[in-house]
Structure 1
Amino acid sequence: MLNLPPYRVLQVEDTDGDYHIKAETVSPPERCVHCGSDALVGFGRRENWIRDLPIHGKRVALSVDTRRFRCKSCGKTFYESLPNVDSKRSMTVRLKTWLEKRSLRHPFTHLAEETGVSNTTIREVFDDYGRQLQDSLRFETPEVLGIDEVHLIRRSRAVFTNIPSCYVIEMLPDRNKTTVGRYLSELPDKRRIWCVAIDMWRPYQDAVREALPGIPVVVDKFHVLKMANAALDALRKTVGGTISPQKRRALMRNRHLLLKRFSDLNEIQRKRLEEWGRDFPLLSKAHRAKERFYDLYEASSRSDAAKRYKEWDASLDNEIRPTFGPLLTAFQNWEGPILAYFDHRVTNACTESANNLIRAVQRMGRGYSFDVLRARILFVRHGAHRMKPFRKPRLLDKPILAEDDIGYGLPSRGTEREDISLGVDTVEILNLIEKGEI
């Protein structure tokens, strides 16, 4: 019934939802664990309760009558060891292995109800397994590194991606300069990185400059364009406060006409926008200014982009200049990293996509800690990782005879295979979310 050869089943009690199985070890110890003598005598027993895998949909608790022995030679006593039992917890090794795999995909409360193991113990199993996976998994340093943040469990968490491949490579507990800088400084093969894309968060820039000196920093263009749209939308709300409720609701329903590029509007939408422009000249001016700012990112070079920005700045009407105040300030403070886009042409769209998927995983497992969410994203090994073989030298100072070379030639230097992860594929994360497997 148990399929555990080291144990003999003595009694089975079938209760509602549980099996209580009394068992004992088949082979008691023959020698003293202290001195090695075989002069042993029985010296009492104690009952140990051990959890095992469910059977027939019922929880299983083993009651093992553990024998105690006394050594005649050294006088010391000891209990027999229980084979197939985890050394840290009162559960079988196979149950611990089963919980490790399942805890990455299922709620702890569900596993606790299914096995009879407490939530706390399952969390401990999960934590140990997460550390084991983290120690055994190596990520390749990307050529283009993306840094952004996602708000999880009342705090912003830094997310790192391999931009060309759109793979997630790390999540940190916060986005502070110290935390980000420590991670960047510990990256292997930092010379591989030729560009870092960030949003306008000063600690990111400072951490990159200290940990990766000389590496260009590019401010994501979508964050910059988002500020232009936000300025226009803020003006729409201000204008809406001065008109009748009916017109305000109509203006709100058509706000997408203001935020879309004029070239993307159809003929009907353009006429509607022109009507709003006649009714609200200030809004029309701001819309045209927003469109001209978007044209900046169609520049062919950095110098061309700088020229276009100066012309845009000079052309701003004094009536709408306060509307674009935050954008003007941001460009003044971040001009170098913003214009660096025209040297490298990279964006953080991949990281933004990863953030949305991470939020979706959080919604699927409400109540989980950040460590659990991070493990679910980074350490679930069922297709999400993109691995490549990596061979590292082994014992370089001692040539090793390859098996096929023995007796046939010169010794070859050994190599040790190690799997290296390129990152967690966001497409596969999406597939796992849709299947409910993460």
Structure 2
Amino acid sequence: MADNALLEKMLDLAEFRIDDLKHNDNDIMFYVSKKEKPNVCPIYGVIEPKLRVQQRRNQEVRDINVLNKRVGLTINRTKYKCMECKSTFYETLDSVRQNSKMTTRLREHIAEQSKRRSFIELERELDISNVTIRNIFLEEARKIPQFFEIETPNIIGIDEIHVQREGKSRKQAWAVICNGSDHTVIDMLRDRNKATIIDFFSRLKQPYNVVFVTMDMWQPYRDAVYQALPQAEIIVDKFHVLKIVNEAFDKYRKSFKTELGKRNIKLKKDRFLMLTRPHKLTMKGIVYRDAWFSEFPELKVAYDLKEQFFNIYEATTAKEAVRKYTDWLVAIPDDLEIYTEVAKTVKNWGREIFNYFSYGNLTNAFVEGINNTIRAIEKQGRGYDFDVLRAKVIFFINHKVIRTSFKTDALFYSQSFTDEDINELYSLKNRDYGVEFKDIIKAINEGLL
């Protein structure tokens, strides 16, 4: 009896009496039953009812691991008949939710741990399914407001992450909205459609604070900004413009590979040599590159045009950049069609591309960087869906919050409150700027996601 009292103290579930205990190398099973009979009929609320045992059954539930062993409870549940109202009911449990297969404290443990650790890791540790852990995690996430009142920055960056979902034939794109002034993540959106982006902008705390929006060349982004934030200027990211030039040239480069095989000539490292900027090549690299040009002079023409386009981004003003671009267009031979798509893109996105030179050379690199980090979280979790990934990033990493100091003058030096005084006091709320990039990276490095 004394041993049971000690075990009950260790189990720390006051409602249960321990009837038996079994264990092996991997598991511990407590056989328990309720200490007290119900003192209220839960059907009609009869106090101190006369009860008759109708039936007994065992219910197995999981509990928190102990000593790296799985712990279970086999609960001897009693079904009673209330002789006052003739209704029947099973005794209620304080430690286990109705129809649950785990104790409340295990559920709370999973809810807390899943915020900071991957579901896969918890599944291995607890031997509880990934689906169950996910559902508990999302239940916890739903307790948090789904839209924080985050401060509206002067610079917003929009980009997307593409993830391959199980059972899907193509990758899904989830939009990521970032604060370019403070380098924080503001939110993640389920898709990158125009309506979704407009809806997000409509919920900004102070939409007219936005001066610049950086992005890639995705038409729905542009349409959404011009409709919802008409005062903002769009800046197309430099990297995405240069990428289409590189891709056009690289496709042309590959066309020479077949010709090279026919001539039975050995030339080295063509892709590296052709796509690396000239000032980054070693003398040996320049020799190899020029060997290609000697064999294929037309490849040198395309290469020089690629480099001429890259040099547009050395311009210090939009006017100079436009002049350099015009010179580039004129220099393209009539029989070289590889840059036709580039010219078409610049024509369609000219204003947004040349805004880069007008407004301080802003790029979307800060968003690209955080997207790579978010992809790492998704990969680590082995297929987190949108709801899980968003909650991991937005809800369970500390936000950058500026706490304003309390102004005592309004309280102690005013005989009465005016509307202006009250508005000032309300303005003292903490300012939330979103999740800092460095904190997301830190959480990953420390294995907390």
Preserved CA contact (<8 Å) 2:119 2:381 = no
Cα 1:416–1:166, aligned 2, differ >3 Å: closer, same or farther?
Answer: closer
**1:308 matched to which residue of 2?**
324
Normalising by structure 1, report the TM-score.
0.83
User: Conserved in 2, the CA contact under 8 Å of 1:51 and 1:117?
Assistant: no
2:348 is aligned with what amino acid?
Answer: N
State how 1:233-272 maps to structure 2 within 5 Å.
233-244=250-261, 250-251=267-268, 253-272=269-288
1:336-351 equivalences under 5 Å are: 336-344=351-359, 345-351=361-367
Q: CA offsets per residue over residues 380-419 of structure 1, 9 Å max, x none?
A: 33x6x43433799xxxxxxxx98xx7xx976896769976
Could you tell me which residue of structure 2 aligns to residue 145 of structure 1?
156
**Residue of structure 1 in register with 2:402 after alignment:** 388
Following superposition, the deviation at residue 155 of structure 1 comes to 1.7
- Letter in structure 1 aligned against 2:12: N
Q: TM-score, normalised by structure 2?
A: 0.81
2:213 paired with 1:204: no
Q: Secondary structure at the match of 1:214?
A: coil
1:77 to partner: Cα distance: 4.6
Paired residue type of 1:39: E
Q: In structure 1, how many angstroms separate the alpha carbons of the residues matched to 2:350 and 2:265?
A: 36
Structure-2 separation of matches of 1:269 and 1:378: 46
Other-structure match for 1:357: 373
> Residue 420 of structure 1: CA displacement?
5.7
Q: CA deviation at 1:357?
A: 2.1
1:10 and 2:19 matched: yes
Cα-Cα RMSD: 3.4
**Counterparts in 2 of 1:141 and 1:63: CA distance versus 1, 3 Å:** farther
Which runs of structure 2 are paired with 1:57-76 in the superposition (5 Å)? 57-68=68-79, 74=85, 76=87
Residue 21 (str. 1) matches residue 30 (str. 2):
yes
Q: Aligned equivalents of 1:164 and 1:88: distance in 2?
A: 49
Structure 1 counterpart of 2:96: 85
Alpha-carbon distance in 2 for matches of 1:352, 1:367: 20
Preserved contact between residue 39 and residue 73 of structure 1 (Cα < 8 Å): no
Partner of 2:199: 182
Task: Work out whether residues 213 and 235 of structure 2, in 8 Å CA contact, stay in contact via their aligned partners in 1.
Answer: yes
| Number of residue-to-residue matches in the alignment | 423
The alpha-carbon deviation at position 24 of structure 1 amounts to 3.2
Q: Is 1:195 the equivalent of 2:209?
A: no
Aligned partners of 1:245, 1:418: CA distance in 2, in Å?
73
| 3-state SS, counterpart of residue 250 of structure 1 | coil
Match of residue 123 from structure 1: 134
Q: State the secondary structure of the residue aligned to 2:362.
A: coil
From 161, 173, 179, give the equivalent of 1:156: 173
| Alignment partners' CA distance in 2, 1:391 and 1:171 | 31
Which segment is superposed worse, 181-190 or 222-231?
181-190
Q: Which runs of 5+ in 1 are unaligned?
A: 393-400
Q: Distance in 1 between matches of 2:154 and 2:246?
A: 31
Q: C-alpha distance in 2, partners of 1:93/1:127? A: 16
Q: Does 1:135 align with 2:151?
A: no
Alignment deviations for residues 116-142 of structure 1 (CA, whole Å, 9 cap, x no partner) = 544433232122123234538554433
- For structure 2, the residue ranges without an aligned partner over 5 or more in a row are 1-9, 165-170
Amino acid in structure 2 at the alignment position of 1:423: G
Segment drifting more, 323-332 vs 111-120: 111-120
Compared CA separation, residues 365 and 39, structure 1 to 2 (3 A): closer
- The yes-or-no answer on 1:327 pairing with 2:338 is no
* Residue 186 of structure 2 is aligned to residue 172 of structure 1: no
